[in-house]
């Protein structure tokens, strides 16, 4: 659905100065129906990438495709194909919610303007406030209205730039729930966010980006790649002989004792946990609880970014 | 055309919700209609029978020909207001046009707008027409009111005939819209290059200076706005308008506007 090949964007500042390399050689593919998280620090070039992929600005080098349309060659078709939620909602504050959406529905050549406007106002719970000026709306309501605006023309790909930025927890949850709803409807979503928990919950795959793509994979695979898989066995007490016995098992990659817990690195916990439990019981251990040690996406992100010397 | 119509409708909905803009847009046409009528009323019969045209500048007196001194004086006075009528479609749209792009920048609504399939030409045409149409309409409506009220304030038949003559009609019907096109395109051009609506408005107001030059030139007796001068002004404005429309479209760089605004 979204494909880039060595996509780059440089900004020239003053004569004689080196251009700012906002995006360098970005090559990635986002599949149809996928929610792709695009993570990176401030100034990493995420918004520039979104702007290129929505034909708002042109690339300096490389190519990008939305479906069969190429950025820079089929810009009008790309604008019809994609929807964008910009970092700031940018609504017409003096106009009503309904007017705001009608204007954009007309600009997107939506065939049934009143029908589409009603559909999305109802879907986002704004129907009863449709005649109110947007200036009187809360931040969360504006954000929802901006999402509705991005969806009016039923785009094949939706670009969301920091959709929950600056929202209170309740409003952020409303927006997140709606993104989940869109995900369940099979929309292709390109999500730029700083909220790592949000990305972890919503995204099928994640790309960590700082001017260039550092890594891309599913959140689970990123965890495994960076930390492996670790299982924690909570025991009534730990005997040092048990550590030696478990270390002797061929599939155990690493084992550590922390208080009354054994942290065991395993390549396939689903298959190997029963063997460990059996061995511990044979050794006379009292197992109280077993769980997987799960690193947060924040750990992965920080580890990756720091590994890049950012 | 649908996109242009949508942009015009959007601009009008936004602008005319602002009562201050509506007030300033309406105030000037009302004043520019009332003042010449008051002038005609106060000067009607002020020149005694058999008076001469010596009170008006010599250049203008030549234009009066065989008219009596009273008629010539009234025509001289209201001819100053023709410049104001020509200036009206230039001043009225500046506020709207100057705000058009920079306003979208400050409210951050330009990016979603540029993300739609609207072409640059459609966007600029919509913005320009939204500013120019009310100004031209206000000028024409005021001129009709002025014409209708002219006999009631004591204007003679010769004065009415002069106002309905080619110089005035060209000024109102042709020069006015050409002025509006120039003002609007210049203001939009400035608007897309600055970050503050006030700067856009101040810079766009520069356009009034040459028109004021025409007004003061006539008052000082250096020029007379007659048919010949009107045709020269029209020709010059056509060239200026073409240049400004071309330049406006060239200078409207989506990428620069999006990436360099603060």
CATH for A277: 3.30.70.100
Per-residue pLDDT at A106 exceeds 90: yes
Question: Cβ separation of A103 and B10 shorter than 8 Å?
Answer: yes
Per-residue pLDDT at A107 exceeds 50: yes
Q: What is the average per-residue pLDDT within A140-146?
A: 88
Q: How confident is the model at residue B92 (pLDDT cuts 50, 70, 90)?
A: confident
Please name which of B212, B232, B217, B171 lies closest in space to residue B57, comparing C-alpha atoms. Answer: B217
Which of these ranges, A34-48, B48-62, B185-199, has the smallest mean pLDDT? B48-62
Nearest CA in chain A to B4: A107
Q: What is the average per-residue pLDDT within B122-146?
A: 88
Please name which of B255, B90, B94 lies closest in space to residue B187, comparing C-alpha atoms. Answer: B94
Averaged pLDDT score across all residues of chain B: 81
- Are A184 and A252 part of one and the same domain? no
pLDDT of A114: 92
> Is the CB of residue A111 less than 8 Å away from at least one CB of chain B?
no
Per-residue pLDDT at B94 exceeds 90: no
Cβ atoms of A71 and A161 closer than 8 Å = no
User: Does A163 fall in a domain?
Assistant: yes
Q: How confident is the model at residue A267 (pLDDT cuts 50, 70, 90)?
A: confident
Domain that holds residue B244: 2-260
User: Does A49 fall in a domain?
Assistant: yes
Contact list in A for residue B112 (CB cut-off 8 A) is 84, 86, 90, 104, 146, 149-150
> Is the CB of residue B1 less than 8 Å away from at least one CB of chain A?
no
B117 → closest Cβ in A80, A84, A89: A80
Q: What is the average per-residue pLDDT within A102-107?
A: 94
User: Does A303 fall in a domain?
Assistant: no
- Are A185 and A291 part of one and the same domain? no
- pLDDT more than 90, % of chain B: 8
Q: What is the average per-residue pLDDT within A10-39?
A: 85
Return residues 6-45 of A near B (CB < 8 Å). 11
- Are A188 and A108 part of one and the same domain? yes
pLDDT of A310: 47
Q: Which of B115, B126, B256 to mutate to test the interface with A (most CBs of A within 10 A)?
A: B115
**Who has greater pLDDT, B129 or B195?**
B129
Distance from the Cα of B123 to chain A's closest Cα (Å) equals 10
**Who has greater pLDDT, B211 or A291?**
A291
Last residue of one domain, picked from the residues A194, A217, A240: A217
- Are A98 and A247 part of one and the same domain? no
- Are A191 and A128 part of one and the same domain? yes
Rounded Cα distance, B96 and B15, in Å: 7
Rounded Cα distance, B216 and A203, in Å: 69
Q: Which residues, including other chains, have CB under 8 Å from residue B12's CB and lie 6 or more apart?
A: B130, B134
User: Does A222 fall in a domain?
Assistant: no
Beta bridge partners of A161: A192
Cβ atoms of A208 and A305 closer than 8 Å = yes
Last residue of one domain, picked from the residues A217, A236, A268: A217
User: What is the number of domains present in chain B?
Assistant: 1
pLDDT of A53: 93
User: What is the number of domains present in chain A?
Assistant: 2
A107 → closest Cβ in B6, B14, B254: B6
Q: φ, ψ for residue A33 (rounded to 5)? A: 80, 5
ipTM: 0.78
Last residue of one domain, picked from the residues A191, A217, A243: A217
pLDDT tens readout for residues B231-258? 988 999 899 989 988 888 887 778 777 7
> Is the CB of residue B108 less than 8 Å away from at least one CB of chain A?
yes
Question: Cβ separation of B255 and A58 shorter than 8 Å?
Answer: yes
Nearest CA in chain B to A11: B259
Domain that holds residue A259: 228-297
> Is the CB of residue A79 less than 8 Å away from at least one CB of chain B?
yes
**Who has greater pLDDT, B113 or B163?**
B113
- Are A146 and A283 part of one and the same domain? no
- Are A126 and A234 part of one and the same domain? no
Q: Which of A53, A79, A98, A106 to mutate to test the interface with B (most CBs of B within 10 A)?
A: A106
Distance from the Cα of B42 to chain A's closest Cα (Å) equals 45
Nearest CA in chain B to A60: B255
pLDDT of B63: 67
Q: Which of B117, B123, B252, B255 to mutate to test the interface with A (most CBs of A within 10 A)?
A: B117
Averaged pLDDT score across all residues of chain A: 86
Rounded Cα distance, A295 and A65, in Å: 34
User: Does A286 fall in a domain?
Assistant: yes
Q: What is the average per-residue pLDDT within B28-32?
A: 84
Please name which of B78, B83, B34 lies closest in space to residue B56, comparing C-alpha atoms. Answer: B78
User: Does A309 fall in a domain?
Assistant: no
Which of these ranges, A39-53, B89-103, B124-138, has the smallest mean pLDDT? B89-103
pLDDT of A87: 82
pLDDT tens readout for residues A198-236? 888 888 998 988 888 888 888 888 777 777 788 888 988
- Are A169 and A198 part of one and the same domain? yes
User: Does A80 fall in a domain?
Assistant: yes
Q: Is A220 exposed, middle or buried (0-12, 13-18, 19+ CB in 10 A)?
A: exposed
Nearest CA in chain A to B120: A76
- Are A46 and A25 part of one and the same domain? yes
- Are A14 and A132 part of one and the same domain? yes
- Are A40 and A176 part of one and the same domain? yes
Distance from the Cα of A260 to chain B's closest Cα (Å) equals 56
- Are A17 and A165 part of one and the same domain? yes
pLDDT tens readout for residues A279-302? 888 888 888 898 887 777 777 777
Question: Cβ separation of B115 and A79 shorter than 8 Å?
Answer: yes
CATH for A160: 3.40.50.300
Question: Cβ separation of A86 and B6 shorter than 8 Å?
Answer: no
User: Does A147 fall in a domain?
Assistant: yes
Contact list in B for residue A99 (CB cut-off 8 A) is 13
Distance from the Cα of A15 to chain B's closest Cα (Å) equals 16
Q: Which of A90, A98, A99, A143 to mutate to test the interface with B (most CBs of B within 10 A)?
A: A90
Q: What DSSP element (H or E) covers B42?
A: helix B19-43
SS3 A217: strand
pLDDT tens readout for residues B44-71? 665 555 555 566 666 666 667 667 777 7
């Amino acid at each position: 659905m979204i494909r880039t090949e060595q996509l780059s964007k440089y900004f020239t500042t003053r004569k004689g100065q080196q251009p700012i390399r906002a995006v360098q050689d970005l090559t990635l593919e986002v599949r149809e129906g996928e929610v792709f998280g695009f993570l990176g620090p401030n100034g990493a070039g995420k918004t520039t990438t979104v702007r290129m992929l929505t034909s708002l600005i042109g690339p300096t080098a490389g190519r990008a495709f939305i479906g069969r349309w190429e950025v820079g060659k089929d810009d009008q078709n790309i604008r019809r194909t994609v929807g964008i939620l910009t970092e700031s909602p940018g609504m017409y504050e003096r106009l009503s919610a309904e007017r705001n959406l009608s204007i954009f529905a007309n600009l997107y050549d939506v065939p049934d303007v009143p029908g589409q406007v009603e559909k999305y106002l109802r879907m986002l719970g704004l129907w009863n406030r449709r005649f109110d000026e947007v200036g009187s709306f809360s931040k969360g309501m504006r954000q929802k209205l901006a999402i509705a605006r991005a969806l009016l023309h039923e785009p094949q790909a939706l670009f969301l730039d920091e959709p929950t930025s600056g929202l209170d927890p309740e409003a952020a949850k409303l927006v997140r729930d709606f993104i989940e709803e869109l995900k369940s409807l099979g929309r292709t979503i390109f999500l730029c966010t700083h909220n790592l928990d949000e990305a972890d919950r919503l995204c099928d795959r994640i790309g960590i980006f700082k001017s260039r793509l550092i890594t891309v994979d599913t959140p689970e695979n990123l965890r495994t790649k960076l930390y492996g898989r670790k299982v924690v066995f909570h025991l009534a007490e730990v005997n040092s002989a048990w550590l030696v016995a478990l270390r002797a098992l061929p599939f155990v990659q690493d084992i550590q004792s922390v208080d009354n817990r054994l942290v065991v690195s395993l390549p396939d916990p689903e298959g190997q946990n029963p063997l460990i439990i059996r061995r511990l019981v044979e050794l006379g251990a009292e197992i109280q609880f077993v769980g997987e040690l799960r690193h947060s996406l924040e750990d992965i992100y920080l580890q990756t970014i720091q590994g890049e010397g950012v | 055309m649908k996109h242009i119509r949508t942009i015009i409708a959007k601009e009008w909905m936004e602008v005319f919700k602002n009562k201050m803009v509506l007030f300033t847009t309406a105030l000037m046409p009302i004043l520019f209609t009332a003042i010449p009528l008051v002038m005609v009323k106060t000067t009607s019969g002020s020149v005694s029978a058999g008076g001469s045209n010596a009170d008006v500048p010599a250049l203008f007196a030549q234009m009066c020909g065989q008219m009596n001194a009273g008629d010539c004086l009234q025509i001289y006075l209201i001819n100053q207001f023709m410049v104001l009528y020509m200036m009206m479609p230039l001043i009225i749209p500046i506020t709207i046009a100057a705000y058009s792009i920079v306003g979208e920048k400050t409210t951050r609504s330009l990016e979603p707008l540029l993300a739609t399939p609207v072409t640059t030409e459609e966007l600029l045409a919509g913005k320009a027409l939204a500013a120019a149409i009310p100004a031209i309409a206000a000028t024409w409506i005021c001129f009709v009111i002025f014409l209708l009220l002219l006999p009631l304030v004591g204007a003679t038949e010769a004065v009415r005939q002069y106002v309905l003559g080619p110089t005035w009609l060209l000024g109102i019907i042709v020069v006015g819209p050409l002025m509006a096109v120039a003002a609007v395109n210049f203001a939009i051009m400035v608007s897309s290059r600055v970050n503050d609506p006030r700067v856009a408005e101040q810079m766009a107001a520069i356009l009034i200076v040459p028109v004021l030059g025409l007004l003061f030139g006539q008052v000082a007796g250096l020029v007379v706005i007659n048919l010949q001068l009107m045709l020269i002004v029209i020709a010059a404005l056509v060239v200026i308008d073409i240049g400004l429309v071309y330049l406006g479209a060239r200078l409207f760089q989506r990428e620069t506007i999006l990436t360099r605004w603060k």
